[in-house]
C-alpha cells in the first residue's frame, strides 16, 4: 500500500528507536476500510523491528481505529481512520515524540502546565486527510497526551465517520 520510497524514508527515520511500539487495532470486519488499514499498518510496522501490530476484529459497531502503545502501555493516542495524506506526518511524529526524538515539543514551562492538568480529559479532533491545518492540531494534542497520562486524544477521519460528524454538527475541520 505504501510506496517503497516512502517506506525506505520511514526506515531511516525509525532506525534509532529505543522503545517498542504496538499499534493495537480494533476494526469492524464488515467495514470496507478494514483491510486497507491492516495493509497500511503492516507496511508501516515493517519499517522497524521496534514496531508491531496487534489486530482485534469485531463484527459490530463500525470500529476502525488503532491505539499507540509504548512498551505495552497506552500512550493516550488513538487514530480513528487511516492516517494517510497530511496525517501521515502525525503518525510518524506520534512514534518519534513518544520515543523522545520528535519535533515541535513545547518548552518546559508549557510542558509543566500540561502535566499539571488534572482529571480525565478525552479530546477528539475531527479531520480531513486533505486539510493542511489539521496535522498541527493533531500533533499538538498528541503531545499533550504523551505529557499527561490523564489526557487521551483521538484523531477522527470525518469522512469515515460521517454520521458522527453530522450528529455533532461539525461544520469545518479541524474541530476539537
pLDDT digits (tens, 9 = 90+) for 10-25: 999 999 999 999 999 9
Does residue 66 have a cis peptide bond before it, meaning omega lies within 30 degrees of 0? no
The pLDDT > 90 percentage for the chain reads: 91
Instruction: Give residue 19's pLDDT.
Output: 98
Q: What is the 3-state secondary structure (H, E, C) of the chain?
A: CCCHHHHHHHHHHCCCCCCCEEEEEEEECCCCCHHHHHHHHHHHHCCCCCEEEEEEEECCCCCEEEEEEECCEEEEEEEECCCCHHHHHHHHHHHHHHCCCCCCCCCHHHHHHHHCCCCCEEEEEEECCCCCCHHHHHHHHHHHHHHCCCEEEEEEECCCCHHHHHHHCCCCCCEC
Model confidence band, residue 2 (pLDDT cutoffs 50, 70, 90): confident
Amino acid at each position: 500500500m505504501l510506496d517503497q520510497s516512502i517506506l525506505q524514508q520511514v526506515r531511516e527515520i525509525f532506525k534509532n528507536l529505543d522503545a517498542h511500539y504496538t499499534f493495537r487495532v480494533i476494526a469492524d470486519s464488515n467495514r470496507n476500510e478494514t483491510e486497507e488499514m491492516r495493509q497500511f499498518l503492516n507496511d508501516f510496522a515493517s519499517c522497524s523491528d521496534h514496531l508491531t501490530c496487534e489486530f482485534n476484529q469485531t463484527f459490530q459497531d463500525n470500529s476502525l481505529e488503532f491505539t499507540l502503545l509504548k512498551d505495552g502501555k497506552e500512550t493516550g493516542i488513538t487514530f480513528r481512520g487511516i492516517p494517510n495524506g497530511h496525517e501521515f506526518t502525525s503518525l510518524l511524529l506520534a512514534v518519534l515524540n513518544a520515543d523522545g526524538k520528535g519535533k515541535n515539543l513545547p518548552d518546559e514551562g508549557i510542558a509543566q502546565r500540561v502535566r499539571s492538568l488534572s482529571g480525565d480529559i478525552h479530546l477528539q479532533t475531527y479531520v480531513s486527510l486533505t486539510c493542511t491545518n489539521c496535522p498541527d492540531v493533531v500533533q499538538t494534542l498528541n503531545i499533550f497526551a504523551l505529557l499527561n497520562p490523564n489526557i487521551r486524544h483521538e484523531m477522527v477521519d470525518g469522512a469515515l465517520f460521517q454520521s458522527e460528524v453530522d450528529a455533532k454538527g461539525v461544520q469545518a475541520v479541524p474541530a476539537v
